A and B are shown apart, each in its own frame.
Chain A
Amino acid sequence: MVKICCIGAGYVGGPTMAVIALKCPDIEVVVVDISKPRIEAWNSDTLPIYEPGLDDVVKQCRGRNLFFSTDVEKHVAEADIIFVSVNTPTKTRGLGAGKAADLTYWESAARMIADVSKSDKIVVEKSTVPVKTAEAIEKILTHNSKGINYQILSNPEFLAEGTAIEDLFKPDRVLIGGRETPEGRKAVQVLKDVYAHWVPEDRILTTNLWSAELSKLAANAFLAQRISSVNAISALCEATGANVSEVAYAVGKDTRIGPKFLNASVGFGGSCFQKDILNLVYICECNGLPEVANYWKQVIRINDYQKSRFVNRVVASMFNTVAGKKIAVLGFAFKKDTGDTRETPAIDVCKGLLGDKAQISIYDPQVTEDQIQRDLAMNKFDWDHPMHLQPTSPTAIKQVSCVWDAYEATKGAHGVCILTEWDEFKTLDYQKIFDNMQKPAFVFDGRNIVDPEKLREIGFIVYSIGKPLDAWLKDMPAVA
């Protein structure tokens, strides 16, 4: 029986291993983590991660060929294939602060593997790493090997939060990178055989080790760039009277461009995009490529600009003052159908409004109040450390309240900011909302999910990203 051990029970390791266990009943899969509460949660009825379909997958396999344990050393030693899926947070100080990936957890995982191993192993990079990390890991393992042979593979994940299970069941591609040696090729084949249980062979791509490492960063950079590009166009649409949905539709009809990821919004979020691009920028700088570094940095700059622009629009529209005014925020997750708030634009927008002393009332169907309060108190990148190293009991921010539905959030508010495209926000009774708001009543749609015409008929002043501006907004231009 092939044994797989996955170090790290987070958003990547958990769902991936659950699906492997489901699709490969003859493989024993153990997910290990040093966090006892997390492992206990995986073994309970309330999993620590919400993903549609995940509950069902885990319940089918847990106790059969899928196990969650804190006995890290035992299971690593017994495994044939070890996936390393630990956090690689962005450094917050020292060389590369704000951009470079902190490989502390990765390095300690490698040293632990070397310490406990008694038989040859395939070690698979699953979490996102800078290019050439495999080389560093290889050196650590080799210099501590005691005669054991290790093959390092890169097998980056391409999951999108909210559709992780679906993405794992039917991936666009599975990417496996290995050394171009006989031993490397053999290791690649072993891992390929695992995925071939359910993924068609033409979707399993094999490359050299560095191409695989870079492909993950590049794919996320390309996706984020599409969003920043359409967001950049949205600013020009507002200035010229064009309509970004019309422009994006016309652009997307070109089969060389394609229609996906061309929805203008208040900005992209998620744990991957900003982090991977900043990482890519840092790698370019380290390799003496300042022009390339600056090119990718622009993707982040436009994203920051889009969030700032949105906040400026809110404040400028309300006579340049929001102090003491109640503003409803609908949606806090970085996208719909997830409780994930990592790098959500809602954090920056709320902080922008709090900076102008607004009173914020937040409603999100999935995100907990505790998470919201923590997010608004945390420094950037703290979220990417294991939970037990994150700051505890932040003081609740007095200007922020979290409520249980949209109508409560908007009661007595001056403006409504829609920051996440939850389906329920499309079908709210906006007349009822309008009746309970201060006048003039504003809707700032950061996701283009409402129909501006209908809301204007009700009496709202509406701002939609990239759409021709309401007369009120034209008369009160936002300036940075």
Chain B
Amino acid sequence: MVKICCIGAGYVGGPTMAVIALKCPAIEVVVVDISEPRIAGWNSERLPIYEPGLDDVVRQCRGRNLFFSTEVHRHVGDADIVFVSVNTPTKTCGLGAGKAADLTYWESAARMIADVSRSDKIVVEKSTVPVKTAEAIEKILVHNSRGVRYQILSNPEFLAEGTAVQDLFAPDRVLIGGRETPEGRAAVARLRDVYAQWVPGDRIITTNLWSAELSKLAANAFLAQRISSVNAISALCEATGADVTEVAHSVGRDARIGPRFLSASVGFGGSCFQKDILNLVYICECYGLPEVAAYWREVIRINDHQKSRFVNRVVSSMFNTVAGKKIAVLGFAFKKDTGDTRETPAIDVCNGLLGDKAVISIYDPQVTGEQVSRDLAMNKFDWDHPRHLQPLSATDLAKQVAVAPDAYEAARDAHAVCILTEWDEFRTLDYKRMFDAMHKPAFIFDGRNVVDPAKLREIGFVVYAIGKPLDDWLKDMPAVA
């Protein structure tokens, strides 16, 4: 029986291993983590991660060929294939702070593997790493090998939060990178055989090790760039009277461009996009490619600009003052159908409004009040450290921020409503009822283009929708940085 062990029971390791266990009943899969609460969560009825379909997959395999354990050393020692799926947070101090990936957890995982191994192993990079990390890991393993042979493979994940299980069942591609040696090729074939049990052969791509490492960063950079590009166009649409939905639809009809990821919004979030681009920027700087670094940095800059622009629009529309005014925030997750708030634009928008002393009432169908409080108290990139290292919630935030049980409660007595996540339920709210309970003039700032501006204007709202021709009220009160 082939044994797989995955170090790291987070958003990547958990779902991936669950699907492998489901599709490969002949393989024993153990997910290990040093976090006792997290492992206990995986072994309970309430999984620590919400993803549609995940509950069902885990329930079918857990106890059969899928196990979650804190006995890291034992299971790593027993495994034939070890996936390393630990956090690679962005450094917050020292060389490369704010951009470079902190490989502390990766390095300690490699050293632990070397310590406990008694038989040859394939070690698979699953979490996102800078290019050439495999080389560093290889050196650590080789220099501590005591006769055991290791093959390092890169097998980056391409999951989108919210559709992780679906993406794992029918992936666009599975990418496996390895050394171009006979031993490297044999290891690649071994991992390929695992995926081939449910993924068609033509979707399993094999490359050299560095191409695989770079492909993950590049794919995320390309996706984020599409969003920043349409967001950049949205600003120009507001200035000229064009409609970004019309422009994006026309652009997307070009088969060479394609229609996906062309929805303008208040900004992209998620644990991958900003982090991977900053990582890419740092790698370019390290390799003496400042022109390339500057190019990719612009994707982040536009994203920051879009969030700032949105906040400026809110404040300037309300006579340049929101101090003491209640503003409802609908949606806190970085996108719909997930409880994930990492790098969500809602954090920056809320912090921007809090900076102007607004009183915020937040409603999100999936995100807990505790998570909201933690996010608004945290420094950037703290979220990528294990839970027990994150700072405690700040109590002073409680005065300005409340979490509401539903959208109507959030909007009661508010001056404005900011829609920051495209949850389906926000499309079908009774906005007339909402309008009646708000201060006048009542504003809607739609950061996801989920509402019909014309209908809301009939009700009496002043409406701002990203990239759409501006309401007269907004034209008369232009936002300036």
Contacts and interface: CB of A to CB of B under 8 A. Distances in A.
B229 interface: yes
Interface in A205-219: 205, 207-208, 210-215, 218-219
B180 to A, nearest CB: 10
Q: Is the interface of B mostly helix, strand, loop or mixed?
A: helix
Contact of A210 (B222, B229, B242): B242
Nearest to B203: A253
B186 interface: no
Size category of the binding interface on chain A: 35 or more
Given A229-B222, A302-B295, A250 B302 contact: no
Given A132-B240, A205-B253, A225 B211 contact: no
Contacts of B305: 291-292
A254 B158 contact: yes
B136 to A, nearest CB: 13
A228 B246 contact: no
Interface stretch (A66-74, A189-197, A238-246): A238-246
Contact of B211 (A219, A237, A258): A237
B474 to A, nearest CB: 15
Contacts of A221: 229
B367 interface: no
Contacts of A249: 205
A250 B223 CA distance: 13
Given A219-B251, A295-B298, A254 B172 contact: yes
A205 B240 CA distance: 20
Most buried by B among A213, A222, A255, A289: A222
Interface stretch (B83-91, B137-145, B254-262): B254-262
A236 B279 CA distance: 13
Contacts of A222: 226, 229, 251, 254, 257
Interface stretch (A50-58, A280-288, A406-414, A423-431): A280-288
B210 A173 contact: no
A240 B131 contact: yes
Contact of A219 (B207, B228, B257): B257
Contacts of B237: 210-211, 214
B207 A211 contact: no
Nearest to B296: A232
B232 A296 contact: yes
Contact of A295 (B211, B232, B254, B260): B232
Most buried by B among A211, A296, A301: A211
Q: Is the interface of A mostly helix, strand, loop or mixed?
A: helix
Contact of B236 (A208, A239, A261, A292): A292
A284 B238 CA distance: 11
A254 B173 contact: yes
Contacts of A207: 243, 246-247, 250
B250 A212 contact: yes
Contacts of B226: 222, 256-257
A437 B388 CA distance: 67
A183 interface: no
Interface of B: 131-132, 158, 172-173, 175, 203, 205, 207-208, 210-215, 218-219, 221-223, 225-226, 228-229, 232-233, 235-237, 239-243, 246-247, 249-251, 253-258, 260-261, 280, 283-284, 287-289, 291-292, 294-296, 298, 301-302, 305, 469
Given A211-B237, A260-B257, 18 more contacts: A173-B253, A175-B250, A203-B253, A208-B246, A210-B240, A214-B236, A218-B247, A222-B257, A246-B207, A250-B218, A254-B158, A254-B219, A256-B261, A257-B260, A260-B258, A295-B232, A302-B295, A468-B208
